[in-house]
Structure 1
Amino acid sequence: MSQIDTIRLQVMWNRLVSVVEEQAMTLLRTAFSTSVREAGDLSAGVFDPEGRMLAQAVTGTPGHVNTMAEAVPNFIAEIPRERMYPGDTYVTNDPWKGTGHLHDITMVSPSFRGGELIGFFACTAHVVDVGGRGFGADGKSVYEEGLQIPIMKFAERGEVNRDLLAIVRANVREPSQVIGDFYSLASCNDVGHRRLMEMLDEAGLDGLDSLAAFILSRTRAAILERIATLPKGSWSNTLLTDGYDEPVRLAAEVTIGEDSGGEGSVNVDFSGCSPVSRCGINVPLTYTKAYACYAIKCVVAPDIPNNAASLAAFTISSPANIVNAERPAPVALRHVIGHMIPDLVLGALAKALPGQILAEGAAALWNIHISVRPAPGAPGPGARHAEVLMFNSGGMGARPGLDGLSATAFPSGVHTMPIEATEHTGPIVIWRKELRPDSGGAGRQRGGLGQTIEIAPAEGHEFDFSAMFDRIGTPARGRDGGADGAPGSVALDDGTRLRPKGWQHVPAGRRLILQLPGGGGFGDPAERTPEARAADRARGYVTETET
């Protein structure tokens, strides 16, 4: 290949990334759910005809992107090529063939050019409701957790499946929002297809074959080169999480070696994790793989594009357990355990790469689903029912050379949801949302701070809420001598302690107070500079009374 050809293909690769970024932004701008529109809880990507991901949008979460990369081949296996037509869009929320739980809708659209299938566009988004028990851990099987949509056609040759929409409308609490998101997902794939056709027209190409070969070969060579520089061997780590009604043990062994072809490989084995839970905190293996791969890639190759070739360098193994839950295990809150996977894997890598890995953080998002209703005897005119979903983040662990980021969603990467947008979706009032002093673990580098959030039903209302919280009984651990982060807590403003998981009630006139956990510190606290200590006190990150 000539240098000119190489440059040309590299430019087209960059252009392809811009295509899928516009695809994602279309979803972001048209979505009905606040979790998508405000927090960016989505993914978008383009795939070759074999279902290999060529490019992903920067906008999105690792849990969605990497599971979507596994999902597209499932669509191809389910829908024969002879039943694929221009104008088609396929859909599922199958946790084991999609992205891990029923609240995520994945849509895949074939891309045709001149009558030939040249690839696929895919996207995923979290919808506000899928029926059943709602977004929570209380279900005892996936059948209780909501409507299941097998891989099927949302649209054929541009004609939307009205029967599917009627079934969805009859089974969810917010049909307008959910069906609106279905159309947003389908539309964003259409935008990706149109932009791809424009790009191929400009380049004078009939398809993606030459570009796909270039992307995958270059990525594979780059990722293997990085793995070759790593120490070889096996390292293990264990981690406790709160679980539902008893702590959950997570265990991982990371092995860095060479495969039979003499090329680098990294395997993570999850033998030794707790068994499948009776409650909905279980994780399908595809979601476990998504976050294990993300953790390794953050350390090994953060600058190498994420696609089928880079993901193929990492393998995952596990017996049936809480991180490899098989159907029909309840999996609604698979993110609570799934978001702990990076801290687990990074803890093993810290033994292989001492002094280079950040401390543990809050990890799991503190999501809260609020079901608001008029209080008994409340006046009618302003009273209403609503379903409100809110994403919140604790502190990140401290890094070897920098303090941890406060109130930051690592590893999920979702944005903070503005309180104005959240209050607009339902009759609630967020009285306080501020950084939580003294919650970051002490160290040479301080852990990131959690938040204090105070939520109340609006006048004349009450609400039930689904708690999806962790790091209350098992705080984030410091690294290399750093102190643990502060644990979280859940209570009413009258001091009543509440459970970290499950549906609970907040009566009219009461406020729910969430204290989000902080990240662990890194290094000996005695080595923190006087200037950094003074800055912490001046900014209110650490109180004057802290020892």
Structure 2
Amino acid sequence: MKADLARIQYQVMWNRLISVVEEQAQTLVRTAFGAATREAGDVSAGVYDTQGRMLAQAVTGTPGHVNSMAKSVGHVLAKVPLAAMVPGDVFILNDPWLGTGHLNDIVVVTPTFLGDRPVGLFACTLHVVDIGGLGVLGAGRQVYEEGLYLPVTKLVDAGRLNQWLVDIIAANVRENVQVLGDIYSEIACNDVGCRRLLAMMAEFGMESLDGLAEHILEQSRKASLEAIHRLPFGTWHNTMTVDGLSAPMVFHAALTIGPDGIDVDFAGSPGVVATGINVPLCYTEAYTSYGVKVIVAPHVPNNAASLATIRVTAPEGCILNAQHPAPVAGRGTIGQMLPDVVMGCLAQAVAAGVPAEGTSCLWNIRLMGGPGRVDAPPEVLAKATGFNLTCFHSGGTGARPRQDGMSATAFPSGVRNVPVEVTESLAPVLVWKKEYRTDSGGAGTQRGGLGQVMEIESAEGLPFATAMNFDRVIFPPRGRDGGLPGMTGRISLTSGKELPGKGVHSVPAGDRLRVEMPGGGGHGDPRRRDAALLAQDVAYGFVSAEAAAAQYGAVLDADGAVDVAATRDRPE
């Protein structure tokens, strides 16, 4: 009876701990300066025990941040033992191999003290708009050229801000108000976490987190293994071709399900490249484990123990295990494809429940203006407003076995689209168009999610530049179980010139940048799609009448609308 009561108490504490880290994350979102955090939610927040093991993460956040940040606290403790920390200390790092994969993501770690005794740590991550250097996908050939590199460093020493470090950061970034404001918001969010944890411990009469930590980790490990044991044991293989740089890349994955967990090996995948789409192993681990977990054990809380049941390997020198000092600024373009790669393995082992491929990589629109940022004569840019802006946007997700894919929605990252009004308030640009892209979702019993079309122009009538790091321009997201592929993306100027998916390009004065984002793959035979849903798709403009007839076998009436009754009788 006492054991049952203890388990109930631990469960109540565990749920409370999750609410603590969610408040921590919401503090970060509400106080941040950068649109990536404030509008898109490109963050993570979590609480750790004194051994550096993540116990709980906030619901708000991205897998790439939280799953790689899960190990960041251990790296901090390896450099600064807990015994050497004092109340009021705060640590900062953006080392891509110890943090979240590239320099734009800054991790802040804060120890929590009950009196003068450490009882845990809080960590958070966010994406800053600029970290100096050559940008998210510039001409950098080493990480040193990609921006300011911060090893594990003390940001606040016993309550006193390290102003020397703050001055160094401010002097090396283009948007110092936004970047420093974001870092201060990270300090604040961890402080909220610390205070809420101490209040929770006081309420439950806790002297340490040790007992709760062991309960959380043991129950998570047990639940994860139970979910894994419901799957057939064996090894499954999958390949996926992406655009790459000058030539396509083929990723190879071998996924092995066994009694002690799941192993994913990327042997055979391409080697590192000269431009920064290389991926540190921590980021490969983050998105691979996420792709496995959402299919195998989606209801098991994410923490050190549940993540430990999924092990990821890639050969050194592989693009998925890039070694220092490889350029890694655009690691998300490749890294966010990995859930689709491992889901292709799981689809062979799991009878149902695996979606089709989606756009996966973000289609963030990066815009720059002013002297030194645009390929135009200095006299043309003399009165131009200088700006550096990242607008978060997405194509469509893959169709699910029982539901359509989500349109203009980021998966696997989960970040939100930045509203047009916010973009126009942050920089002198005009967004003339933002709409769904007809026929971009792959046909299927369940239709792939739609991409979107955007057109952007300078509000000052001057040239501006865009830095692009897009994939799915050449190779589309594939459908599953008979579903058709989604539409590939396309980038162009409204004057007619087509642009490649990766690189920095100038948009001449008076011209507009046009970005057409990919759609997700379809799931199941298109001719089995419900006729009423297909009629609705055509009426809403999601599917053209021509595609409805050609791909779905729809019968159209004289007005070009779907004849539901006749379509229901179509042969499969």
| TM-score interval for Structure 1 and Structure 2 normalised by the shorter chain | over 0.9
Aligned-partner residue type, residue 475 of structure 1: P
Q: Counterparts of 2:69 and 2:352 in 1: how far apart (Å)?
A: 33
Structure 2: unaligned runs, 5 residues or longer: 551-572
- Measured against aligned partners, the alpha-carbon deviations of 1:319-376 in whole angstroms (never above 9, x if no partner) come to 0200110001100010000010000000011111144311000000001221122786
| Contact 2:50-2:82 at 8 Å conserved across structures | no
Deviates more, 1:336-345 or 1:420-429: 420-429
- Pick from 297, 309, 312: which aligns with 1:313? 309
| Contact 1:355-1:480 at 8 Å conserved across structures | no
TM-score of the superposition, structure 2-length normalised?
0.93
Aligned-partner residue type, residue 29 of structure 2: L
Aligned-partner residue type, residue 17 of structure 1: I
Q: Counterparts of 2:5 and 2:82 in 1: how far apart (Å)?
A: 36
C-alpha RMSD over aligned residues? 1.3
1:335-414 aligned at under 5 Å gives the runs 335-373=332-370, 383-414=384-415
Aligned-partner residue type, residue 303 of structure 2: N
- Report how far residue 379 of structure 1 moved: 9.8
Aligned-partner residue type, residue 139 of structure 2: D
Q: Residue 280 of structure 1 corresponds to which residue in structure 2? A: 276
Q: Counterparts of 1:317 and 1:85 in 2: how far apart (Å)?
A: 37
- Measured against aligned partners, the alpha-carbon deviations of 1:179-228 in whole angstroms (never above 9, x if no partner) come to 11111111100000001111111111111111111111111111111111
Q: Residue 236 of structure 2 corresponds to which residue in structure 1? A: 235
Q: Residue 455 of structure 2 corresponds to which residue in structure 1? A: 454
Q: Residue 53 of structure 1 corresponds to which residue in structure 2? A: 54
Q: Counterparts of 2:492 and 2:455 in 1: how far apart (Å)?
A: 10
Q: Counterparts of 1:313 and 1:78 in 2: how far apart (Å)?
A: 26
Identity, in percent, stands at 53
| Contact 2:381-2:462 at 8 Å conserved across structures | no
Residue aligned with 2:478, SS: coil
Q: Residue 487 of structure 1 corresponds to which residue in structure 2? A: 488
Q: Residue 15 of structure 1 corresponds to which residue in structure 2? A: 16
| Contact 2:95-2:150 at 8 Å conserved across structures | yes
Aligned-partner residue type, residue 305 of structure 2: A
- Report how far residue 377 of structure 1 moved: 5.8
Deviation beyond 6 Å, 4+ runs, structure 1: 378-381
Q: Counterparts of 1:377 and 1:151 in 2: how far apart (Å)?
A: 43
Q: Residue 293 of structure 1 corresponds to which residue in structure 2? A: 289
Q: Residue 418 of structure 1 corresponds to which residue in structure 2? A: 419
Q: Counterparts of 1:379 and 1:256 in 2: how far apart (Å)?
A: 58
- Measured against aligned partners, the alpha-carbon deviations of 1:456-491 in whole angstroms (never above 9, x if no partner) come to 111233211110111010100111111110000000
Q: Counterparts of 2:83 and 2:258 in 1: how far apart (Å)?
A: 42
Q: Residue 271 of structure 1 corresponds to which residue in structure 2? A: 267
Q: Counterparts of 2:227 and 2:80 in 1: how far apart (Å)?
A: 37
Q: Residue 555 of structure 2 corresponds to which residue in structure 1? A: none
Aligned-partner residue type, residue 255 of structure 1: T
| Contact 1:459-1:509 at 8 Å conserved across structures | no
Q: Counterparts of 2:404 and 2:123 in 1: how far apart (Å)?
A: 37
- Report how far residue 134 of structure 1 moved: 1.4
Residue aligned with 1:121, SS: strand
1:150-229 aligned at under 5 Å gives the runs 150-229=151-230
Aligned-partner residue type, residue 346 of structure 2: L
Q: Counterparts of 1:359 and 1:306 in 2: how far apart (Å)?
A: 24
Aligned-partner residue type, residue 85 of structure 2: M
Count of aligned positions = 541
Residue aligned with 1:125, SS: strand
Q: Residue 431 of structure 1 corresponds to which residue in structure 2? A: 432
| Contact 2:69-2:100 at 8 Å conserved across structures | yes
- Measured against aligned partners, the alpha-carbon deviations of 1:261-288 in whole angstroms (never above 9, x if no partner) come to xxx3100000010111111000001101
Residue aligned with 1:2, SS: helix
| Contact 1:237-1:347 at 8 Å conserved across structures | yes
Q: Counterparts of 2:462 and 2:213 in 1: how far apart (Å)?
A: 55
Q: Counterparts of 2:478 and 2:238 in 1: how far apart (Å)?
A: 13
| Contact 1:137-1:501 at 8 Å conserved across structures | no
Distance 1:327 1:379, change over 3 A: closer
Q: Residue 261 of structure 1 corresponds to which residue in structure 2? A: none
| Contact 1:360-1:519 at 8 Å conserved across structures | yes
| Contact 1:137-1:281 at 8 Å conserved across structures | no
- Report how far residue 428 of structure 1 moved: 0.7
TM-score of the superposition, structure 1-length normalised?
0.97
Q: Counterparts of 2:245 and 2:460 in 1: how far apart (Å)?
A: 32
Structure 1: unaligned runs, 5 residues or longer: 259-263
